[in-house]
A and B are shown apart, each in its own frame.
Chain A
Amino acid sequence: MSNAAAIRPGRPALPEWVRRLPEYLMIWVPLLLSAAHLVSFSLWTIWISFTPSTLIPVSGWVGLRNYSAVAASRNWQIAFDNLLLFGSAFVLLSLVTGLALAILLDQRIRGENVLRSVFLYPLAVSFVVTGTVWSWLLNPGLGIQKLVHDLGWTSFKFDWLIDRDMAIWTIVIAAIWQSSGFAMALFLAGLRSVDTDIIKAAQIDGAGPIRIYRRIILPSLWPITITVVVIQLQFAISTFDLVRALTNGGPGIATQLPALVVYDLMFQRSLLGRGAAAAVLMLLILLAVLLPYAAWRYVQRRRAAHA
Chain B
Amino acid sequence: MRERTFAPSRILIYLIVLLIAAAWLAPLAVVVLNSLRSNEEIAQGSMIGWPQHWAWSNYVAAWSGFCVAETCAGIRPYMLNSALVTIPATIFSTLLGAVAGYAVSLWRFRGDTWIYGIVTLGLFLPQQMRLLPWTIVLRDIGLINTLAGLVLIHTIQGLSFTTLFCRNYYVAIPHELIRAARIDGAGFFRIFWRIILPLSPPILIVTVIWQFTHIWNEFLYGVTFTSGQQQPVTAALIALSAAVADIPQHGVQSAAVIIAALPTLLIYLLGGKYFVRGLTAGAVK
Contacts and interface: CB of A to CB of B under 8 A. Distances in A.
Given A34-B163, A121-B268, A125-B265, 9 more contacts: A26-B99, A27-B100, A27-B188, A34-B157, A42-B130, A124-B267, A177-B27, A238-B127, A283-B125
Contact of B131 (A107, A134, A149, A279): A279
Interface in B81-106: 96-97, 99-100, 103-104
Contacts of B133: 37, 40-41, 44-45
B140 to A, nearest CB: 12
Interface stretch (B58-66, B170-178, B197-205, B211-219): B211-219
Interface string A22-61: 1100110011111101111110110010000000010000
B52 interface: no
Given A101-B20, A126-B264, A26 B188 contact: yes
Interface string A101-143: 1001101111000010111111111111110111011010011
Interface stretch (A63-71, A85-93, A160-168, A182-190): A182-190
28 contacts: A27-B107, A27-B188, A30-B97, A30-B99, A34-B118, A40-B133, A57-B132, A101-B20, A104-B13, A107-B2, A107-B13, A115-B17, A117-B268, A117-B269, A125-B217, A125-B261, A137-B30, A142-B46, A146-B47, A147-B49, A149-B46, A150-B45, A234-B124, A238-B127, A241-B220, A259-B128, A266-B131, A282-B128
A142 B254 CA distance: 13
A276 B187 contact: no
Identify the interface centre among A118, A120, A228, A286: most chain B CB within 10 Å of its CB.
Answer: A118
Interface string A247-282: 000000000000100110011000010011011101
B79 interface: no
A78 interface: no
Interface residues of B, number: 86
B119 interface: yes
A120 B28 CA distance: 13
Interface in B30-62: 30-31, 34, 42, 45-49
Nearest to A231: B283
Contacts of A272: 132
B132 A27 contact: no
B17 A240 contact: no
Interface in A272-300: 272, 275-276, 278-280, 282-283, 286, 290
A279 B128 contact: yes
B233 to A, nearest CB: 9
A136 B130 CA distance: 32
Contact of B13 (A109, A150, A282): A109
Contacts of B100: 27, 30-31
Contacts of A143: 46-48
A127 B267 contact: no
Contacts of A41: 129-130, 133-134
The prevalent SS among residues of B at the interface is: helix
A118 B23 CA distance: 10
Interface of B: 1-2, 4, 10, 13-14, 16-17, 20-21, 24-25, 27-28, 30-31, 34, 42, 45-49, 96-97, 99-100, 103-104, 107, 109, 115-116, 118-119, 121-122, 124-134, 136, 156-157, 159-160, 163, 185, 187-189, 213, 216-220, 224, 234, 237-238, 241, 250, 253, 257, 260-261, 264-265, 267-269, 272, 275-276, 279-280, 283-284
A126 B217 contact: yes
Question: How many interface residues does chain A have, given as a range?
Answer: 35 or more
